[in-house]
Chain A
Amino acid sequence: MAKVYIPAQLRAFTEGAEWVEASGDTVGAVIGNLGPSVRNRLLRDGRLAPGLAIAVDGEITPLGLRETVAPETEIHFLTAISGGFL
Chain B
Amino acid sequence: MSTAPYNIIGTRPPRHDGADKVTGRAIYGADFQINGLLHGAVLRSPHAHARIESVDTSRAAAYPGVVAIVTADDFPQTPDRIVDLGEGETPLSYVRGNVLAKGKVLYQGHAVAAVAATSPHAAEQAAKLIDVRYTPLPCVLTAPEGMAPGASKLHEQENVTHHIQHAIGDADAAFQQAAIVVEREFHTATVHQGYIEPHAATALWNNDGRVQIWCSTQGSFVVRDVVSCLLDLPVSQVKVTPTEIGGGFGGKIPVYIEPVAALLSRRSGRPVRIVMNRRDVFEGSGPTPGSFIRVKLGADAEGRFIAARAHLAYEAGAYPGGMVGPGTMCVFAAYDIPNVAIDGYDVLVNKPSTAAYRAPGATNAAFATESVVDELARQLKIDPLELRLRNASREGTRRADGPKFRRIGCVEVLEAMKAHPHYSAPLGAASHAAAKRGRGTAIGYWFNIGLPSSCVISVNADGTVNLIEGSTDIGGTRTSIAMQAAEVLGIPVADVHPAVVDTDTIGYTGVTGGSRTTYATGWAAHDAAKDVIRLMTERAAKIWQADDVQFANGIFRSGNNQLTFAELAAKLTETGGPVVGQASVNPKAAGGSFAGVIADVEVDVETGKVTILRFTSIQDAGRAIHPSYVEGQMQGGSVQGIGWALNEEYWMSPDGRMVNSTLLDYRMPTILDVPPIDTQIVEVPNPAHPFGVRGVGEANIVPPPAALANAIHDALGIRMSRLPMNPPSIVAELAKQ
Give the interface of A toward B (CB within 8 A). 5, 7-9, 11, 18, 50-51, 55-62, 74, 76-86
Contact = CB atoms under 8 A, between A and B. Distances in A.
A61 B326 contact: no
B167 A8 contact: yes
Given A51-B162, A77-B402, 10 more contacts: A5-B402, A51-B88, A55-B403, A59-B589, A82-B88, A83-B511, A84-B87, A85-B254, A86-B90, A86-B256
Contacts of A8: 165-167, 341
Contacts of B356: 82-84
A80 B449 CA distance: 11
B346 to A, nearest CB: 9
A76 B402 contact: yes
Contacts of A84: 87, 250, 253-254, 286, 321, 353-356, 360
B88 A9 contact: no
B82 interface: yes
B566 interface: no
Given A62-B451, A76-B402, A78-B402, A86 B165 contact: no
Chain B interface, >50% SS class: loop
B403 A86 contact: no
Contacts of A76: 401-403
B231 interface: no
Contacts of A11: 167
Q: Which of A55, A57, A82 has the most CB of B within 10 A?
A: A82
B94 interface: yes
B418 interface: no
Contacts of A77: 402
B133 interface: no
Interface string B370-408: 000000000000000000000000000000011111100
Contacts of A83: 87, 218, 250, 253-254, 355-356, 360, 511, 513-514
Contacts of B406: 58-59
A62 B354 contact: no
A82 B353 CA distance: 13
Nearest to A77: B402
Q: Which of B88, B226, B321, B404 has the most CB of A within 10 A?
A: B88
B328 interface: yes
A29 B111 CA distance: 45
Contacts of B355: 83-84, 86
Nearest to A61: B588
A85 B218 CA distance: 14
Contacts of A74: 403-404
B89 A51 contact: yes
A80 B514 CA distance: 13
Contacts of B594: none
Contacts of B163: 9
B704 interface: no
A81 B325 contact: yes
B520 to A, nearest CB: 11
A34 to B, nearest CB: 16
A86 B85 contact: yes
B506 interface: no
A59 to B, nearest CB: 5
B403 to A, nearest CB: 4
Nearest to A18: B168
A84 B255 CA distance: 10
Contacts of B250: 83-84
A65 B32 CA distance: 43
B204 to A, nearest CB: 22
B410 interface: no
Interface residues of B, number: 57
Contacts of B319: 85
A48 to B, nearest CB: 9
Contact of B88 (A7, A62, A81): A81
A26 to B, nearest CB: 15
B165 A50 contact: no
B62 interface: no
Given A18-B168, A51-B89, A85 B401 contact: no
Interface in B67-85: 82, 85
Contact of A58 (B82, B168, B326, B403): B403
A79 B403 contact: no
B82 A79 contact: no
Contacts of A60: 449-450, 588, 590
Q: Which of B218, B451, B589, B590 has the most CB of A within 10 A?
A: B589
Interface string B216-229: 00100000001000
A85 B403 contact: no
8 contacts: A51-B321, A60-B588, A80-B325, A81-B87, A81-B447, A83-B254, A83-B360, A86-B90
A77 to B, nearest CB: 8
Contact of A85 (B94, B168, B402, B589): B94
Interface in B552-605: 586-590
B514 A7 contact: no
B95 interface: yes
A58 to B, nearest CB: 4
A83 B88 CA distance: 9
B329 interface: yes
B164 A79 contact: yes
A61 B253 CA distance: 22
Contacts of B95: 85-86
B90 A58 contact: no
Nearest to A78: B401
A78 B404 CA distance: 13
A79 B361 CA distance: 13
Interface in B414-450: 447, 449-450
B98 interface: yes
B165 A7 contact: yes
Given A55-B402, A55-B403, A62-B588, A80 B88 contact: yes
Which 6 pairs of residues, A with B, have the shortest CB-CB distance? A79-B325, A85-B321, A82-B88, A83-B356, A86-B254, A8-B165
A79 B253 CA distance: 19
A84 B94 CA distance: 12
A77 B325 CA distance: 12
Interface in B288-343: 319-321, 325-326, 328-329, 341
B109 interface: no
B194 interface: no
Contacts of B353: 84-86
B405 A58 contact: yes
Nearest to B89: A50
Q: Which of A51, A58, A79, A86 has the most CB of B within 10 A?
A: A86
A81 B449 contact: yes
Interface in B161-214: 162-168
A40 B114 CA distance: 43
Contact of B329 (A57, A58, A78, A82): A78
B242 interface: no
A86 B255 CA distance: 6
Nearest to B98: A86
B608 interface: no
Interface string B221-253: 000001000000000000000000000001001
